[in-house]
Structure 1
Amino acid sequence: MQLTSTQQRAMTWCLIAALVLLALWFLGPVLTPFVVAAVLAYALNPVVNKLDHLGHGKIPRVLSVVMVEAIFILIVISVLLLVVPIFAKELPLLREQLPQLVARLHNRLTPWLGQFGITMALDVATIKAFVGKYLSTNVEETLGSVMSSLKLGGSVALAVLGTLVLIPVALFFLLKDWDRFVAILVDLVPPKLRPSFDNFMEEADSVLGQYLRGQLLVMGVLSIYFSVGLALFGFDLAVPVGVFTGLAFFIPYLGFGLGLTLAMLAGMLQFGGLYGVLVVAGVYGVGQLVESLYLTPRLVGERIGLHPLVAIFSLLAFGQLLGFIGVLIALPTSAVLLVAIRRLRASYMLSKLYQG
């Protein structure tokens, strides 16, 4: 059967997409730092261009790239350091209070569950020994354990270290030559398809930009809300936990779960009872409702039209297929695919097949 030129082009693009997916599948660990750097370069390139514009060409692009990347790295380090006071303060408390909390929970639940014929038996002594062994407050012992783990899994540690070093290097070169790389890719598109390709990429770029700006607004608002909400109820670690939770919302649903876990732990250890759990449940419950019903729909969802169920499915599907890379590119890729689906739907609605 003779294929038309349109069918041949479609098959060619499908083959290219399949090859790209296979490359991501087999070369995932190798490509991880480059994909991370590419995503960061896409997000930071407008900032570099803004500096170039403000400098009227007098500031070399290399200097703009160095400034933007240095500020970004400082922000990342600052965010990571937010978690340090949480563990520095909570681990000693956890070692002291966790056995007591478990014993108290056991004493309260056992009679209540007994009414329903359910028997619960917790070995509090074993739990206390486990906590005392693995949650040592001795810094030297902790560092020794970490170093031993690094020696045992030296290849893993070396791979992680190499990735952390390679990401900023790749980011520098991508930002420095971003326009040139984009021009090379655009030149691969046949001239006849260039107008429709440029129109599609412009719309996709607009959707991605709206998604990133909306997500940053959501993260900022939630960081303030959780910090203030926990502080009003007397949490000592309100600001670190609140800011971490808000920023972790960049990874939908998983970020909320991490922040909730840290807040629950801080609440139980600080207040030693049900008060901390109820406060955290109330603050985080209201925050999740506000985020789900107002912030994300208004600031993110309405801008890109990505339903929450679609977001969850894309995270799970891309994560299953491509691992960490899949989670990283799931939502941006889904936003671009959404633009393609809209165009296909519009073409179908106008086609003779639909109109009969």
Structure 2
Amino acid sequence: MTAPMLLTDSQRQVLLWLALAVAGWWGVSLLAPVLLPFVVAAVLAYALRPVVAWLAARRVPQWLGAGLAIALLMLVLLAVVLIIVPVVTQQWPLLREQIPPLLERLNAWLVPLAQRHGFDIAIDVEGVRALLRRLISGHEGQLLDHVLASLRIGGSAMLAVLGNLVLMPVVAYYLLLDWDAAVTRCRALVPPPWRPAVGRFLAEADAVLGQYLRGQLLVMGALAVFYAVALALVGLKLAVPIGVFTGLAVFVPYLGFGLGLVLALLAALLQFQSLLGVLLVAAVYGAGQVIESFFLTPRLVGERIGLHPIGVIFALMAFGHLFGFVGVLIALPASAVLLVAVRRVQGLYVSSPLYRPRDAARSPEED
């Protein structure tokens, strides 16, 4: 009989770490719904930590600085809601009166053009008017009844959502209070031989993520100014609130731009009542998307975190494909951390025997 193969200490260590990684992944997958608000709170605390540190440097107590940072974030979110809700509530009911005349004008241009080419095409304006009447002004009570019924049926789910919305800023506040101690406790869990390398990696990742946040704020500010000024030049009355909202909402890729575009087109349709005005607003948003995608984000975000403009586009597409909408949200910050890891792995590879055998003779180019 052959003797059983004994594992070396390094092999047992690798297997132990693999087992811990699998157990950790299983636990995270099992508790994902519960962990989500805590993960979001940790992200909020990390993003607000520089604000608390800045206030602490000016002798503001940490408990007060953390409260001010959370309150500032809540005020920004409330301001965004107050910008978008009045625009929708004021403009939406006007659609029922404004869209049919626009369609009649379109019919007056489209029908003769189609007849000259042998087609009989016309828009059913009365049908559209009846549809708008049913959607906008006839079923508000029924819609409210359906919403209330759904709340009664899924009351536990709604309470869970509301509870998470309240829980996240509370957890973020306590994380900000205990941030330094929590970081120290987490570092103490790292095996002592690994601590220098892990510390350098985390410090570099923290610096890169800080550059990402600053670059993203610059992109948001630049786009808010661009959309507000460009829409005002077009003549849109709601240029400032819609432009500022669009600029701030681009932090959420695609969704923020899409909401701003819908609001702007809706306002243009009701104000100008002409195809030209709507096309001008659409052109502003088309130009803004080109500027943001091919200049601002690659230059102000990509270059700050060390990503090539092509790398920024690839990261957005790859993470979106792998993780959906959440992947688009985390694409750039996750790529920043991965970039630090890739640099470390590249350094290990270049200094390894796989790339440069130790007994290989030095080439003339190296001398």
Amino acid in structure 2 at the alignment position of 1:38: A
Report the counterpart of residue 339 of structure 1 in structure 2: 340
TM-score by length of 1: 0.86
Once the 2 structures are TM-superposed, how far is the Cα of residue 139 of structure 1 from its aligned partner?
A: 7.9
Q: Give the deviation of 1:84 after TM superposition.
A: 1.6
Measured at CA, do residues 203 and 95 of structure 1 come closer, stay the same or move farther in structure 2, by a change above 3 Å?
same
* Aligned counterparts of 1:29 and 1:106: Cα–Cα separation in 2: 52
Cα deviations across residues 93-146 of structure 1 (Å, max 9, x unaligned)? Answer: 222223444455566556667888888675544432332222239987776664
Equivalent residue of 2:354, what SS?
Answer: helix
Tell me how far 1:87 sits from its aligned partner.
0.5
- Could you tell me how far apart the structure 2 residues matched to 1:272 and 1:188 are? 64
- For residues 41-80 of structure 1, the aligned pairs below 5 Å read 41-55=45-59, 59-80=60-81
Q: Any residues of structure 2 matched to 1:1-356 within 5 Å, and which? A: 12-55=16-59, 59-102=60-103, 104-105=105-106, 108=109, 123-136=124-137, 146-304=147-305, 305=307, 306-319=311-324, 324=326, 328-355=329-356
> 1:229/1:342 Cα in 2 relative to 1: closer, same or farther (>3 Å)?
same
User: What is the CA distance between 1:289 and its match in structure 2?
Assistant: 2.2
**Distance in 1, Cα, partners of 2:27 & 2:271:** 49
Q: In the aligned structure 1, how far is the partner of 2:22 from the partner of 2:217? A: 33
Q: Give the CA deviation at 1:169.
A: 1.2
Q: Which amino acid aligns with 2:90?
A: K
Distance apart, 1:74 and its partner CA: 1.2
Larger RCO (CA under 8 A, 6+ residues apart): 1
Cα distance, 1:312 vs. partner?
A: 2.6
Q: CA-atom RMSD, angstroms?
A: 3.0
Partners of 2:104 and 2:218 in 1: CA distance = 43
Q: 1-side partners of 2:13 and 2:312: how far apart?
A: 31
Task: Write the distance in 1 (CA, Å) between the matches of 2:352 and 2:110.
Answer: 65
Specify every segment of 5 or more residues in structure 2 that has no aligned partner in the other structure, as ranges.
358-367
Higher-Rg structure is: 2
Q: 2-side partners of 1:102 and 1:12: how far apart?
A: 69
Task: Describe the SS at the equivalent of 1:351.
Answer: coil
Partners of 2:114 and 2:175 lie apart in 1 by 60
Other structure's SS at 1:352 match:
coil
Map Cα deviations across residues 119-177 of structure 1 (whole Å, 9 max, x no partner): 86755444323322222399877766644543344233222211111111111111111
Query: CA 1:195–1:135 in structure 2 vs 1: closer, same or farther (change >3 Å)?
Result: same
Structure 1: distance between partners of 2:68 and 2:21: 36
* 1:291 match: secondary structure: helix
Aligned to 2:253, the other structure's residue is in SS state coil
Percent identical = 51
CA gap 1:315/1:7 in 2 versus in 1, 3 angstroms: farther
Shift of 1:215: 0.2
Q: Which runs of 5+ in 1 are unaligned?
A: none
User: Which stretch has the larger CA shift, 238-247 or 112-121?
Assistant: 112-121
**Deviation string for 1:3-25 (max 9, x for gaps)?**
66566555555555544444444
List per-residue Cα deviations over 1:251-293 (Å, max 9, x = no partner).
2233222222221222122111212222112212222222223
Q: CA deviation at 1:30?
A: 2.0
Q: Residues 3, 137 of structure 1: CA spacing in aligned structure 2 closer, same or farther, 3 A cutoff? A: farther
Verify the 8 A CA contact 1:44 1:68 in the aligned structure 2. Answer: yes
CA distance in 2 between counterparts of 1:62 and 1:84 reads 33
Q: Secondary structure, in 3 states, of the residue corresponding to 1:303?
A: coil
Structure 2 length as normaliser, TM-score?
Answer: 0.83
Deviates more, 1:128-137 or 1:265-274: 128-137
Relative distance call for 1:136 and 1:315 in structure 2 (3 A) is same
Alignment partners' CA distance in 2, 1:108 and 1:12: 74
User: 2-side partners of 1:225 and 1:25: how far apart?
Assistant: 42
